[in-house]
Each structure stands twice: as C-alpha cells, then as structure tokens.
C-alpha cells in the first residue's frame, strides 16, 4: 500500500509497466537478386523470381499510386 502523503506521481509509477520495444528484422540483401529499374532505382527480389515480372509489377504499382 502506498502512503497517502506519497503523492500522485509515485502512485502512477507503481501502476505503469515498461513499454516493449519493437524489433524489425531486415532481409539479408546478399541472398537476394538485384534488379535495376532505371538509373536511380533498384529493387531486390528472391533469387528464383522472374526479373521481367518484378519490373512490370513495380512499374504498375508506382503508376497506380501516382494516379490516386
């Protein structure tokens, strides 16, 4: 039990829990295949994926994004 003269800060500090940090795992780029779209754009795909399909999907996704 917290004493009455302790104040609100100590009471809140006892109730609150620590925040969990988010961890994100990045893929290993050395295991992926690099595809050059234009002189300033590169994408990375799975080693067994089709290069031409990846290019068309990337271009289609960006053109539809610009229209909206």
On whether residue 8 sits in a domain, the answer given is: no
Which uninterrupted H or E stretch holds 33? strand 33-38
pLDDT digits (tens, 9 = 90+) for 14-58: 555 667 788 888 889 999 999 999 999 999 999 999 999 999 999
On whether residue 9 sits in a domain, the answer given is: no
Q: CA-CA distance, 27 to 50, in Å (whole number)? A: 19
Range of the domain at 54: 21-67
pLDDT digits (tens, 9 = 90+) for 13-25: 555 566 778 888 8
Return the residue matching tokens 């795909």: 45
Count of domains forming the chain: 1
On whether residue 46 sits in a domain, the answer given is: yes
The pTM of this model reads: 0.57
On whether residue 3 sits in a domain, the answer given is: no
On whether residue 6 sits in a domain, the answer given is: no
On whether residue 29 sits in a domain, the answer given is: yes
On whether residue 10 sits in a domain, the answer given is: no
Provide the phi-psi class of 28: left if phi over 0, else alpha when psi is between -120 and 50, else beta: beta
On whether residue 37 sits in a domain, the answer given is: yes
């Amino acid at each position: 039990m917290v004493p009455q003269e302790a104040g609100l800060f100590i009471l809140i500090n006892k109730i609150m829990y620590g925040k969990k940090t988010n961890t994100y795992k990045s893929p290993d780029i050395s295991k992926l295949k690099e595809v050059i779209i234009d002189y300033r754009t590169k994408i990375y795909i799975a080693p067994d994926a089709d290069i031409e399909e990846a290019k068309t999907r990337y271009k289609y996704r960006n053109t539809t994004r610009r229209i909206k």
